[in-house]
Amino acid sequence: MSLDNPFGGARGTGGKERRCVAGGNAGITFKRDVRVRGPVAAPDVLLGLSTPTFVRSVDEFLVRTELDGWDFAEFNHLDIPPFCPELLDKEARRRARAMAGDLGIGISLHAGDWDLLSLDPGVRRYAEVRSLMESELARDLGALYLVAHIGIPQRMMLHDGGRAWADQFFDYAPRVEAAVEHLSRVADETGVRILYENTYRLVGPLVEAIAARGSPRLGFLLDVGHANMGEGVRELHRAMRATGRLVAMHLHDNHGARDEHLPLGAGTVDLDGLELPPYVVVEVRDWQKAVATRDGFSKRYL
């Protein structure tokens, strides 16, 4: 199937009773009403699936997400071509939003990498344009939120053959401030909730800047796998939650050294005692293992 036609196959049908939560996809009722049990009080939690492997079309992903019992589908533009803004024109966006409504599931959008912290002004300008394009796509899809990596310092080759991060030599504070200012403006102009997903560098300064000076439409998605490789899951959860802007979580596992995207329980990520945000998205790179991760997570934490 050509990537110029992101739709294909028969449309699914909904019909299950579902309830709505705050955010995009207004008017959709979702199929689940789950709460954290035990000593941890939290709001209702909805479980989403981030595209685990290549899919040929938007409706293939939406229909399979609904059939597998998820609450919402996270379109991942990092490595899945059908979800690029250029491949979804006005009619395709309208159709995707309507199909999600018919199926009774929500949509969230994982943007491509926005290198808003680059040392190269041209790269930053492109990232600014791209972030606006993908925010407009999220708006048109009625997305619950738009989540993005907003840049990390480059790795630099040193004269002695070693490597170092660019923020060890350059002041990134102005770039952090400019990135937050830009994303605040885009979020306010489009009406989209934009979430910063922690990666591997400058996480603390970005969290602080967004909390102190970001638009109320800016928030956080805690990627527990990334946090397990850096700041620590509990430490970063505490920092994000303290801002009152922790909206979502990416759920996958690793052993602390590489971003392995393993099923929960296959690595060293520990979620015990953490208050969950309203949206939890499984990011495991296998359809069946993603479902197993969701079911195991639900049994233990919901």
CATH number for 46-287 (one of 3.20.20.150, 3.30.460.10, 3.40.190.10, 3.90.245.10): it is 3.20.20.150
Encode pLDDT of 7-66 as tens digits. 444 333 333 343 333 345 444 554 544 333 322 434 589 999 998 877 888 999 999 999
Q: Please say if the pLDDT value at position 262 is more than 60.
A: yes
Q: Please say if the pLDDT value at position 4 is more than 60.
A: no
pLDDT of residue 151: 93
pLDDT of residue 167: 95
Q: Average of pLDDT values for 60-85?
A: 87
Which residue ranges make up each domain of the chain?
46-287
Q: Average of pLDDT values for 207-235?
A: 96
Query: What token pair was written down for 196?
Result: 């910063």
Query: What global pTM score does this model have?
Result: 0.87
